[in-house]
Chain A
Amino acid sequence: MTNVSVAKEDVATSDELVVLRSVNKHFGALHVLQDIDLTIARGEVVVVIGPSGSGKSTLCRTINRLETIDSGTITIDGKPLPHEGRELARLRADVGMVFQSFNLFAHKTVLENVMLGQVKVRKADKKQAEEKARALLDRVGVGTQADKYPAQLSGGQQQRVAIARALAMDPKVMLFDEPTSALDPEMINEVLEVMQQLAREGMTMIVVTHEMGFARSAANRVVFMADGRIVEQAAPDQFFSNPRSDRAKDFLSKILHH
């Protein structure tokens, strides 16, 4: 990874994949994102945690502009987020997103779900798209379900298809917006395992989650949000064993002891 011959600044800038600078957003009177500064390096896995209503999902959704921001800048791979239109569409194709409620296309089969983006957005050849889709479905362990409709699958299977659908676009970064929050407990692990594997393979990931186990084992960095602000960020070991802020201590004491 280190390249000695390149100047230090160059390494730093080219390694910054997602950069948020003093991002602010309001929902009416509610100031959901307050002066958010966050930089995510290429290959980094960042887990965003915090109490509900802290703005972590909103933060995740601003990164591919599913939510617009009121002020500040967001750049992805050096390019600022464009306004709604073709250019934004092109940029979104490079940013994979996995939703809490899966959002698989209900009228398409599992296979079609994973092929659609490749064919319609990347203009890939149908045959190649199908091959890739089948390979990805195998990789996330739902290869045998390819011809079923999403409604015929369990939640865990649907979410793994959703991950495959996002991966089919060869994204530079993957956003996970509470990917396991709508799942039955016994299905959470099968999704987390896929995510863990992705993290090991070096995918850049921003994960909003309540799964502290995943944060501990897969994250390079934990970002703790409360009331629209980033209160604390640290390596997972440090954050979980020795949180600095009272807000984080309070939060951890509530979720870790019961």
Chain B
Amino acid sequence: MNVLLDHLADFREGFVGTVLLTLASGLLAMVLGVIIAGFRVSPVPPLRMFGTAWVTLFRNTPLTLLFLVAWFVVPVVFAPGLSPWMKALLALSFYTSAFVCEAVRSGINTVPMGQAEAARSLGMTFVQTLRLIVLPQATRTVVAPLSSIFIALTKNSAIAGAFSVTELFGWQKTMSDQGYAIAWIFLWVALGYLVITFSISGLFRLLERRLGVAR
């Protein structure tokens, strides 16, 4: 019963760990996802191919496998000396970026073709057309699926706990190892996640309402 009060500091540390990991990988996934979506609709075939390959690879690989790759392959082949937190960040954000990309791309497809044609006929470059005309109009459609993607990301970040990154779900293991009743541990962990996911959906609902007024 007193598992939370007895280990409040650890719990807080785990909670903050989950929030930070989710925020950081969400941000990176967002940036990567928009760029890759740009690649996928670009007029340059190699970029389109790269974008398609990226999405195919990261969307179809189990996240746990990506964590294993980040832990055991990335240090050997690409970047040795990454901290576990950085490795978790990479695995989570690359994985999530594939889903962000597809959400953004579906948003781009809802913007009428004529908008981009008008921009191009004014002499805007592809990047200007995307940034100034198409993406702002795609935002409204993308907000709803993005909120689901970030909620999924929050819960996916639990996998990092199994790889000894300090986060909320990892706290559960430590506590049950110490013999506390499992039901209470899970209750507190679940509440912790709910706080984060509810905040995300609230934030996006607010965003949706604001974008709705702007039109």
Contact mask for chain B residues 96-125; partner A; CB cutoff 8 A; 1 contact, 0 none: 000000000000000010110111111111
Within A89-105, the residues touching B (CB, 8 Å) are: 89-97, 99, 101, 103-105
Cα distance A120–B129 when bound, in Å?
A: 10
Q: A103-B114, A105-B133 are in contact. Are A90 and B123 (CB under 8 A)?
A: yes
Taking beta carbons and an 8 Å cutoff, which residues of A are in contact with B? 64, 66, 84, 86, 89-97, 99, 101, 103-107, 116-117, 120-121, 149, 162, 165-166, 169
At the interface, is chain B mostly helix, strand, loop or mixed?
helix
Q: Is there an interface contact between B123 and A116, defined as CB atoms closer than 8 Å?
A: no
Cα distance A106–B214 when bound, in Å?
A: 11
- With both beta carbons as reference points, the residue of chain A lying nearest to B120 in the complex is identified as A92
Measured between beta carbons, the chain A residues less than 8 angstroms from B115 are: 103, 105-106
Q: Is there an interface contact between A64 and B122, defined as CB atoms closer than 8 Å?
A: no
Cα distance A103–B123 when bound, in Å?
A: 15
- With both beta carbons as reference points, the residue of chain B lying nearest to A104 in the complex is identified as B118
The residue among A86, A103, A149 with the most chain B CB atoms within 10 A of its own CB is A103
Cα distance A106–B133 when bound, in Å?
A: 9
Measured between beta carbons, the chain A residues less than 8 angstroms from B128 are: 120-121
Taking beta carbons and an 8 Å cutoff, which residues of B are in contact with A? 43, 112, 114-115, 117-126, 128, 132-133, 136-137, 214-215
Give the number of residue pairs across the A-B interface with Cβ within 8 Å. 65
Q: Is there an interface contact between A93 and B123, defined as CB atoms closer than 8 Å?
A: yes
Measured between beta carbons, the chain B residues less than 8 angstroms from A121 are: 122-124, 128
- Identify 22 residue pairs between A and B in the complex whose beta-carbon atoms are under 8 Å apart, listed by A's number: A64-B121, A66-B117, A66-B121, A86-B125, A89-B124, A90-B123, A92-B120, A92-B121, A92-B122, A94-B123, A97-B118, A97-B121, A99-B117, A103-B118, A105-B118, A106-B137, A107-B136, A116-B122, A117-B124, A120-B128, A121-B122, A121-B128
Cα distance A198–B175 when bound, in Å?
A: 79
Q: Is there an interface contact between B123 and A169, defined as CB atoms closer than 8 Å?
A: yes
Q: Is there an interface contact between B122 and A93, defined as CB atoms closer than 8 Å?
A: yes
Cα distance A11–B190 when bound, in Å?
A: 81
Q: Is there an interface contact between A105 and B119, defined as CB atoms closer than 8 Å?
A: yes
Cα distance A11–B114 when bound, in Å?
A: 37
Given A92-B123, A99-B118, A107-B136, output 11 extra A-B contacts at Cβ < 8 Å. A84-B43, A89-B124, A96-B121, A97-B118, A99-B114, A99-B117, A103-B112, A105-B115, A105-B119, A121-B128, A169-B123
Measured between beta carbons, the chain B residues less than 8 angstroms from A90 are: 123
Q: A103-B115, A116-B132 are in contact. Are A165 and B122 (CB under 8 A)?
A: yes
CB distance from B10 to the nearest CB of A (A): 48
- With both beta carbons as reference points, the residue of chain B lying nearest to A66 in the complex is identified as B117
CB distance from A139 to the nearest CB of B (A): 18
The residue among B119, B122, B132 with the most chain A CB atoms within 10 A of its own CB is B122
Measured between beta carbons, the chain A residues less than 8 angstroms from B121 are: 64, 66, 92, 95-97, 166
Measured between beta carbons, the chain B residues less than 8 angstroms from A94 are: 123
Q: Is there an interface contact between A120 and B114, defined as CB atoms closer than 8 Å?
A: no
CB distance from A74 to the nearest CB of B (A): 15
Measured between beta carbons, the chain B residues less than 8 angstroms from A162 are: 118
Q: Is there an interface contact between B117 and A120, defined as CB atoms closer than 8 Å?
A: no
Cα distance A157–B104 when bound, in Å?
A: 32
Q: Is there an interface contact between A117 and B123, defined as CB atoms closer than 8 Å?
A: yes
Measured between beta carbons, the chain B residues less than 8 angstroms from A95 are: 121
- With both beta carbons as reference points, the residue of chain A lying nearest to B125 in the complex is identified as A89
Cα distance A89–B127 when bound, in Å?
A: 11
Q: Is there an interface contact between B43 and A117, defined as CB atoms closer than 8 Å?
A: no
Cα distance A96–B118 when bound, in Å?
A: 10
Cα distance A121–B114 when bound, in Å?
A: 19
CB distance from A232 to the nearest CB of B (A): 29
Contact for A101 among B43, B114, B137, CB less than 8 A: B114
Measured between beta carbons, the chain B residues less than 8 angstroms from A120 are: 124, 128, 132
- With both beta carbons as reference points, the residue of chain B lying nearest to A162 in the complex is identified as B118
Cα distance A113–B132 when bound, in Å?
A: 11
- With both beta carbons as reference points, the residue of chain A lying nearest to B126 in the complex is identified as A84
Measured between beta carbons, the chain A residues less than 8 angstroms from B123 are: 89-94, 117, 121, 169
Measured between beta carbons, the chain B residues less than 8 angstroms from A89 are: 120, 123-125
Measured between beta carbons, the chain A residues less than 8 angstroms from B114 are: 99, 101, 103
